[in-house]
Amino acid sequence: MIDVMKAVRLHAFGGPDVLVYEDAPRPELKAGEALVRVEAAGLNPPDWYLRDGYRALPPEWRPNASFPLILGTDVSGVVAALAPDVAAFSIGDEVHAMVRFPDAVMTGSGAYAEYVSVPASQLAPKPVGIDHIHAAGAPMSILTAWQFLIELGHDEPNPFQSYRHEPVPLEGKTVLINGAGGGVGHLAVQLAKWQGARVIAVASARNAALMRDFGVDQFIDYKTTAAEDVVQDVDLVLDAVGGANMERFLRVLKPGSALFLVNPLGFTGHEEAEKLGITVSSTQVRSHGAQLAQAACLLADGTVRVVIDSRFPLAKASSAHDRAANGNIQGKIVMAV
C-alpha cells in the first residue's frame, strides 16, 4: 500500500492557478536520505520559473517535464525517517534545507508537500530560537548570499562563466547591494555588515526603515535616485535583481573592484568592465548542508534575521504565487504546512 500525503502538484505549466492541492504518494527514501515532515516551505524565484515552464529560456533549454511535479526547494521541518546509512541526524531532529538545487531545477525539488525526501548532506539543524516559518525562509536566499559573498564551497562547473566565482574580502570595504529588501538582498546586507563592510543599500522606499535597523550606512530609493548618479569608488556591487541595464553599476565601481550578478542573463558590459579593470562574476547557488549550518549560527544568535513578507497555508499555494507575481517582496514568502 502506498502512503499518501497532501501536496501541491502541477499537471501542466502555467500561472498560479495550475498549483493543485491534492493527494500524492509520500516520497520513498533512498540511501543517504532523510524523510522530512514539512512544517513550512519557503518560496523562491525558481519556483515560479519552473511553474511557468521556464518560458524566458530558449525553447531548446526548457524542461521536458513529466507531470505531476512538486515545486519547492526550501523546507523546515522534522526528521520523520532515515535511510539506514544516515548517522548524522536522528528521528525527531528539527532541520532545514535547500533541497536538490540545482539538480532538480527542471523537475521540482518537492518541498510543497507534507513530506519531502532530502539528501542528508543538504540538511542543517534548524537554527535554535527561530520558528519553522523563518527557518524555511532562509535556505536558498542565505546560501546564495553566502556563496556569492563569503565562500563558494564547491568545485562544480559554473553555468554562467568559465572561471570560478571567488568572493572578495569585505572588511572595511564599501559594498553596494541592489535589491536590498528582497530575499537574497536583505540577507546579503546583513552578511556584509557582519563582515565589517560599509553597506549602501538600494531598494524601494518601503525598505528604508528595515535597512536602518540593519545598520546600513547609506540608503538609496531607486525609484527617485539612480545609484550611479550619487555613488562612486565602490569596492563591490552585488546586484540581487538582474534585468535591464546592469551595466550601469560599472560606473559606481573603482578600478580593481568587482561586480557580482545574482541574475547575470542579459549583462553586456564584459568588454567595458575589462577596460575599467573590474571583475564581473556570477555563480549558481548549490545545496550545501554544512554551509547552511554555519549560517544557522548567525540566525540563531540574531546576527542575521529572516524577514517574512507574507505567509500562506500550503493549500493556498496559488495565492502565495499571486503575491510573488505582484513584486516588491520584502524578505520572504513562506507557506505553513
Site of interaction with ligand NAP (CB under 6 A): 44-45, 140-141, 144, 178-179, 181-185, 202-204, 207, 222, 240-242, 262-263, 284-285, 328-329
DSSP string, 240-258: SS-STTGGGGGGGEEEEEE
Cβ pair 6, 110 in contact under 8 A: no
Contacts with 54 (C-beta within 8 Å, 6 or more apart), sequence order: 61, 62, 63, 106
Which residue shows C-alpha cell 525526501? 117
Rounded to a whole number of angstroms, the minimum distance from the CB of residue 135 to ligand NAP is 16
**Residue 192 grid coordinates:** 556584509
Rounded to a whole number of angstroms, the minimum distance from the CB of residue 154 to ligand NAP is 12
Cβ pair 79, 89 in contact under 8 A: yes
Residue nearer to ligand NAP on the CB measure, 243 or 277: 243
Burial class (CB in 10 A: 0-12, 13-18, 19+), 117: buried
CA gap 221, 261 in Å, rounded: 20
254 CB neighbour count, 10 Å cutoff: 13
189 φψ region: left (φ > 0), alpha (ψ -120 to 50), beta (else): alpha
Residue with the CB atom nearest ligand NAP in the bound state: 182
Residue nearer to ligand NAP on the CB measure, 35 or 124: 124
Residue nearer to ligand NAP on the CB measure, 196 or 266: 266
Rounded to a whole number of angstroms, the minimum distance from the CB of residue 87 to ligand NAP is 30
Residue nearer to ligand NAP on the CB measure, 69 or 98: 98
Residue nearer to ligand NAP on the CB measure, 104 or 202: 202
CA gap 153, 162 in Å, rounded: 17
Residue nearer to ligand NAP on the CB measure, 167 or 185: 185
Rounded to a whole number of angstroms, the minimum distance from the CB of residue 77 to ligand NAP is 21
Rounded to a whole number of angstroms, the minimum distance from the CB of residue 167 to ligand NAP is 14
Rounded to a whole number of angstroms, the minimum distance from the CB of residue 140 to ligand NAP is 6
CA angle 100, 102, 104 (to 5 degrees): 55
Rounded to a whole number of angstroms, the minimum distance from the CB of residue 310 to ligand NAP is 11
Rounded to a whole number of angstroms, the minimum distance from the CB of residue 333 to ligand NAP is 8
Residue nearer to ligand NAP on the CB measure, 72 or 179: 179
Residue nearer to ligand NAP on the CB measure, 50 or 240: 240
3-class DSSP assignment, residue 292: helix
Sheet of 4-10: strands edge to edge?
19-25, 4-10, 69-70
